[in-house]
Amino acid sequence: MEMGERLNFWILGGDPRQQALAEALAGDGHEVHTYALEETPGESLEGIWEAHCVVLPLPAAQGENLNAPLCAREVPLAEVLDPLLPGQLVCAGMVSPFLREQAESRGLHLEDYFAREELAVANAVPSSEGAIQIAMEELPITLHGARVLVIGAGRLGKVLCQQLMGLGAQVAVAARKYADLAWIQVRGGRAVRSDRLAGALEDYDLILNTVPAPLLDRAALETLRPGGLVIDLASKPGGVDFDAARELGVKVIWALSLPGKVAPVTAGRAIQTAIYNLLTELGV
Amino acid sequence: MEMGERLNFWILGGDPRQQALAEALAGDGHEVHTYALEETPGESLEGIWEAHCVVLPLPAAQGENLNAPLCAREVPLAEVLDPLLPGQLVCAGMVSPFLREQAESRGLHLEDYFAREELAVANAVPSSEGAIQIAMEELPITLHGARVLVIGAGRLGKVLCQQLMGLGAQVAVAARKYADLAWIQVRGGRAVRSDRLAGALEDYDLILNTVPAPLLDRAALETLRPGGLVIDLASKPGGVDFDAARELGVKVIWALSLPGKVAPVTAGRAIQTAIYNLLTELGV
Amino acid sequence: MEMGERLNFWILGGDPRQQALAEALAGDGHEVHTYALEETPGESLEGIWEAHCVVLPLPAAQGENLNAPLCAREVPLAEVLDPLLPGQLVCAGMVSPFLREQAESRGLHLEDYFAREELAVANAVPSSEGAIQIAMEELPITLHGARVLVIGAGRLGKVLCQQLMGLGAQVAVAARKYADLAWIQVRGGRAVRSDRLAGALEDYDLILNTVPAPLLDRAALETLRPGGLVIDLASKPGGVDFDAARELGVKVIWALSLPGKVAPVTAGRAIQTAIYNLLTELGV
Amino acid sequence: MEMGERLNFWILGGDPRQQALAEALAGDGHEVHTYALEETPGESLEGIWEAHCVVLPLPAAQGENLNAPLCAREVPLAEVLDPLLPGQLVCAGMVSPFLREQAESRGLHLEDYFAREELAVANAVPSSEGAIQIAMEELPITLHGARVLVIGAGRLGKVLCQQLMGLGAQVAVAARKYADLAWIQVRGGRAVRSDRLAGALEDYDLILNTVPAPLLDRAALETLRPGGLVIDLASKPGGVDFDAARELGVKVIWALSLPGKVAPVTAGRAIQTAIYNLLTELGV
């Protein structure tokens, strides 16, 4: 993709992130068509075979349908894939096995932009701000001066540490690897070994977990200070024993998929960047 | 006031800030009595004449009554001032002429902790975080990377600039004085002359006003970008022409008295510090 | 002074700051003449009566002469003031009584740009960086992680705190006023009361003094840790008992007039801004 | 290694980093012996076979000798290895093939602490500060407000970006990978694609190279602004065409091995941490 080149994009389905993506692409001078993104009577796929890039949302599919939450009716994936030509480029987020199979059987060139590292990095920012917003809403103290523990030094842990310190919080970060612990100190945080967390939790007003492993089990939760807040940002099983938390009266908020919820425009622009990079790599 | 000395405090009326203050004083080892702070059947003022310091809330009075929002019944100021001895120290916030008169007629030593500069500085932090929380809730973009204009380089303007930059926003600050403009640059912000604001507002995703002067008039509001958000933090008349904003479809949020709302515990601790400083100065 | 207007400047005498000033003014499109700034054979003051602004250096005079360190011969003030017309504007730095008298007797309009607050603010940055450079050269540890005490919360103390924290130092700031102590905490530093410094100095690897008062007396110096470094940035009497320091083997560096030494170009541009502001205020 | 356990260390050879290491180990309560570290008449290796950990310097060897710059005489490696018992632990930095062979032939347990990631991370801090010190010494402007380009987003590039931004510089970072470019933006820097550097260098007052690849060739150097400074921090071949720089009059400073030079005590403590981690992993 060359700077200034005008490409033809079709945005199929999606939520406000895809709306922001469509707007940002148009703002860059590209030709943009949408389908099943909003409730648009009489819209058609006429001409989609001329698209340089067909964009499916994040996630791309719900079962056998396109993920199209802003559109009243159900849109089968087949409906939008059938008009495409073999070899045509489809960029989709979180590609499911069913979608991959459907794309392959039609000879489409399918790429998963959600697998790109730079999108994961960019998404850590709205995730971090979403968590900070929740903490501000829930806590009776300011984050400035608050004692905060971030569990995990991955992408989200790093951005949380940066933004919380930027607000003036006293931030500790728990990690396993020695190199991560060294980085935490370089960044100005207090480095805590994950395997020494038990019994060290009473110092914190706020605990933000980013690790999908059962680190905050009953024994750990028992040591929390009264009024301490836990926000679990870890995917799938989460990192908190929610039953124990309920019994102990520990307030835990499980917050997932924050980028699309708290900052869809920023999240949409991050998808745009990932797609641009993909097109550049493919020589489109 | 010497470190480690145990004093006798009476906390009369108030909101969660005063609850936090009472807890913090007790946590420091002082003897703490409360009255009209919560719904406590059968409470009395017995012994209040032994208080080293009687604390009234912020603001201290509602007309002729004590400001006691957590207490169901109305409590006349006279009820709590009558038992005090001449010369006894009463620390109150935002002292009204009526309260001053009542205190003087009883020969009480009345001090207004809200007039202390260090409390105003400390309160700028919860005000700033309250504004940031609102911005996070309202905007579809992250503050990281957002173009933000802070109007005013006073205490609140300074803290907003610091915390917004800490989150990664691109911050400009509008001020009148050359020295303030120099400070803004030293702090890493973009300095904008207040008298050149007109026509320069379209660059910003978010405008935070801290100046109680009509800077954001119709002409200024007309130049805002679509989707731009204005949060007015200025007291009394505010700084925005709200009628014009409504007609132009500009979203304006007028946010006042944030410290007690968003971070009562932090705000209560700030009152504690101001009272400690006062007692030290008075040689109590 | 209007944006884009071309003015006529004469730069008389001075050091590399004045050279940078001349260059910056010319870079903005102004007509710039220099005299006694460099060793320029055959230079004359012909036409100086047409100058919108005659600029004398910082300090402007050495006794009865122009301060002209880059020029081999002595240049009496009278030599450069005589050709000026009554009412003509002369901007000078640190005006001495003799210079003021000479200007008044000729009916000149004399302004002292060094008295401007915004210049003092801007100069705090090169002073801070000069101090940081010295600390880096002298200490066998990094400033990142170093325990640093800044004495004084004025302009220089504020900028030192900001830049040292930016490098990752653990910064404490000593101040007298409660409001200053509150600001230090808002900025993320540790606030220390000046009157409790004695005996509290052993915690620091580096002490930067900005207060021209004898705070670092023998008793204080005796409590310094071995290898601890003191940099005294306070003008005139300084803040350190140098005799006691020598006897105790405490390393003290007295660093003055840093802006012109460590960053003459930045310092020259700061003078430019101050002069521009002055001209704007005067309606030139 | 358990907290509070007293171990027996022998520090052989080395520079001020090893002196700082010896001091720090003793400060933690360990038994510390040194040999060939300073000019100590009559010192012996008696008892070295009881050491829990024998520490060689960084680098460990100079040819067939121990690296012992503070010791007047040459000390063959054989002299210090011969008294050790088979299986005894030797921790060395930058192990040469000759040293490895010597250790293996004696059945010693040799570990290279310089290969540890956390030491490389920790060393990036003194390297960054050394580069900043050089820039402060050389430039006539402050780093605050300076336009700085950091080439490379590895460990050193990351720390340079953080510390320069902390001083108030306007920092751009050049990187190749999209994920690195995303991180640079998250950290608040301007992201520049390495393959678009040519012709984009005139914007910078200071260029810090961390990449050992010929990015700053003649064509690139020709586009530098007059007075622009280049500091090359890349190892081995460096990243600058030094001949072209000389001919073009571009000032280039090649700065290597900064940690031991500018902050030996910090660098020694980083070695201490790496050795502690190693001992913990080995179960010593």
Please report, in tens digits, the pLDDT of each residue of chain D (284 residues total): 666 789 999 999 999 999 999 999 999 999 999 999 998 888 999 999 999 999 999 999 999 999 999 998 999 999 999 999 999 999 999 999 999 999 999 999 999 999 999 999 999 999 999 999 999 999 999 999 999 999 999 999 999 999 999 999 999 999 999 999 999 999 999 999 998 887 789 999 999 999 999 899 998 999 998 888 999 999 888 899 999 999 999 999 999 999 999 999 999 999 999 999 999 999 98
Write the residue in D168, D185, D186 that is nearest to B188 by C-beta.
Answer: D168
Contacts of B168 in chain D (CB under 8 A): 186, 188
Quote the minimal CA–CA distance from B170 to chain D in Å.
9
Candidates C121, C141, C262, partner chain D, best to mutate (most D CBs within 10 A): C141
* CB-based contact C164:C139 (threshold 8 Å): no
Q: What is the DSSP letter of B240?
A: B
pLDDT for res B3: 67
In sequence order, what are the residues at sequence separation of 6 or more whose Cβ sits closer than 8 angstroms to the Cβ of residue C112? C91, C92, C93, C94, C95
Quote the minimal CA–CA distance from D186 to chain B in Å.
8
pLDDT for res A196: 85
- The type of residue at B207 is I
Q: Which residues of C touch A (CB under 8 A)?
A: 144-145, 168, 185-186, 188
pLDDT for res A95: 98
pLDDT for res A136: 98
SS (H, E, C) D189-223: CEEEEHHHCCCCCCCCCEEEECCCCCCECHHHHCC
Q: Looking at this predicted complex, what is its ipTM?
A: 0.95
Which residue from C154, C252, C129, C261 is spatially nearest to C212, judged by alpha carbons? C154
Predicted confidence (pLDDT) per residue in D205-260, tens digit: 999 999 999 899 998 999 998 888 999 999 888 899 999 999 999 999 999 999 99
In sequence order, what are the residues at sequence separation of 6 or more whose Cβ sits closer than 8 angstroms to the Cβ of residue C27? none
Q: According to DSSP H, which parts of chain C are helical? A: 16-27, 77-81, 97-105, 117-138, 155-167, 178-186, 218-221, 242-248, 258-262, 264-282
User: Cβ separation of B265 and A144 shorter than 8 Å?
Assistant: no
pLDDT for res B186: 98
List subunits contacting chain C, requiring 3 or more Cβ pairs under 8 Å: A, B, D
What confidence category does residue B197 fall into, taking pLDDT thresholds of 50, 70 and 90? confident
Candidates C118, C155, C185, C193, partner chain B, best to mutate (most B CBs within 10 A): C118
pLDDT for res A86: 97
Predicted confidence (pLDDT) per residue in C240-252, tens digit: 999 999 999 999 9
* CB-based contact C151:B89 (threshold 8 Å): no
Q: Would you call D237 exposed, middle or buried from its count of C-beta atoms within 10 A (0-12, 13-18, 19+)? A: exposed
pLDDT for res A209: 97
Q: Class of the C124-260 domain?
A: alpha beta
DSSP per residue over chain A, as a string?
A: --TT---EEEEES--HHHHHHHHHHHHTT-EEEEESSS--TT---TTGGG-SEEE--SS-EETTEE--TTSSS--BHHHHHTTSPTT-EEEESS--HHHHHHHHHTT-EEEEGGG-HHHHHHHHHHHHHHHHHHHHHH-SS-STT-EEEEE--SHHHHHHHHHHHHHT-EEEEEESSHHHHHHHHHTTPEEEEGGG-TT--TT-SEEEE--SS--B-HHHHHTSPTT-EEEE---TT-SB-HHHHHHHT-EEEE---HHHHH-HHHHHHHHHHHHHHHHHHHT-
Around B226, how many Cα atoms within 13 Å sit in the side-chain half-sphere? 0
Q: What span, in angstroms and rounded, lies between the C-alpha atoms of D213 and D235?
A: 10
Section C184-200 average pLDDT = 91
The CATH number assigned to the domain with range B8-115 reads 3.40.50.720
Write the residue in C120, C159, C182 that is nearest to B118 by C-beta.
Answer: C182
The pLDDT mean for chain C works out to 95
The pLDDT mean for chain B works out to 95
Q: What span, in angstroms and rounded, lies between the C-alpha atoms of B49 and B113?
A: 21
Q: What span, in angstroms and rounded, lies between the C-alpha atoms of D284 and D271?
A: 17
Angle at B10 between CA B9 and CA B15, to 5 degrees: 115
Same fold for the domain at A8-115 and the one at A124-260? yes
Q: Which residues are D12's β-sheet partners? A: D35
Longest alpha-carbon distance in chain A? 63
Q: What is the DSSP letter of D152?
A: -
- Of chain C, the percentage scoring pLDDT greater than 90 comes to 89
Domain positions in chain D are 8-115, 124-260
Candidates C113, C114, C116, C121, partner chain B, best to mutate (most B CBs within 10 A): C121
pLDDT for res D3: 67
Q: Which residues are B55's β-sheet partners? A: B11, B91
Write the residue in A168, A185, A186 that is nearest to C188 by C-beta.
Answer: A168
What backbone phi and psi angles, to 5 degrees, belong to A207?
-125, 125
User: Cβ separation of A125 and B168 shorter than 8 Å?
Assistant: yes
Predicted confidence (pLDDT) per residue in B73-106, tens digit: 999 999 999 999 999 999 999 999 999 999 999 9
* CB-based contact A146:A156 (threshold 8 Å): no
- Determine how many CB atoms are found less than 10 A away from the CB of residue D212: 15
Quote the minimal CA–CA distance from A273 to chain B in Å.
15
Instruction: Evaluate if residue C129 carries a pLDDT over 80.
Output: yes
Contacts of B166 in chain A (CB under 8 A): 163, 165-168
User: Is the preceding omega at residue B140 within 30 degrees of 0, hence cis?
Assistant: no
* CB-based contact D230:D251 (threshold 8 Å): yes
Residue B251 parent element (H or E) = strand B251-254
Pick the residue from chain C with its C-alpha nearest to A168.
C188
User: Cβ separation of C277 and B178 shorter than 8 Å?
Assistant: yes
* CB-based contact C102:C84 (threshold 8 Å): no
Around D250, how many Cα atoms within 13 Å sit in the side-chain half-sphere? 29
Quote the minimal CA–CA distance from D160 to chain C in Å.
10
Which residue from D284, D271, D282 is spatially nearest to D24, judged by alpha carbons? D271
Token readout for C100 is 């003021």
> Cα D61 vs. chain centroid, distance in angstroms?
16
Q: Which residues of chain A have pLDDT under 70?
A: 1-3
Q: Which residues of D touch C (CB under 8 A)?
A: 16, 20, 125-126, 129, 132-133, 136-137, 139-145, 162-163, 165-168, 262-266
Q: What span, in angstroms and rounded, lies between the C-alpha atoms of A190 and A171?
A: 6
In sequence order, what are the residues at sequence separation of 6 or more whose Cβ sits closer than 8 angstroms to the Cβ of residue D3? none
Candidates A116, A183, A184, partner chain D, best to mutate (most D CBs within 10 A): A183
Quote the minimal CA–CA distance from C179 to chain B in Å.
4
Angle at D70 between CA D69 and CA D73, to 5 degrees: 75
Give this prediction's pTM. 0.96
CB environment A121-142: b (16+ within 10 A), e (fewer): bbbbbbbbbbbbbbbbeebbbb
Which region, left, alpha or beta, applies to residue B159 given φ > 0 means left and ψ of -120 to 50 means alpha?
Answer: alpha
Predicted confidence (pLDDT) per residue in C46-83, tens digit: 999 999 999 999 999 999 999 999 998 999 999 999 99
User: Cβ separation of C162 and B273 shorter than 8 Å?
Assistant: no
List subunits contacting chain B, requiring 3 or more Cβ pairs under 8 Å: A, C, D
Pick the residue from chain A with its C-alpha nearest to B267.
A141
Quote the minimal CA–CA distance from D117 to chain A in Å.
6
Contacts of B183 in chain C (CB under 8 A): 121
pLDDT for res C200: 80
Contacts of C117 in chain B (CB under 8 A): 177-179, 182
User: Cβ separation of C117 and B159 shorter than 8 Å?
Assistant: no
What confidence category does residue C147 fall into, taking pLDDT thresholds of 50, 70 and 90? very high
Contacts of D166 in chain C (CB under 8 A): 163, 165-168
* CB-based contact D265:C140 (threshold 8 Å): yes
Around D192, how many Cα atoms within 13 Å sit in the side-chain half-sphere? 23
Write the residue in C118, C178, C181 that is nearest to B181 by C-beta.
Answer: C118
User: Cβ separation of B178 and C116 shorter than 8 Å?
Assistant: yes
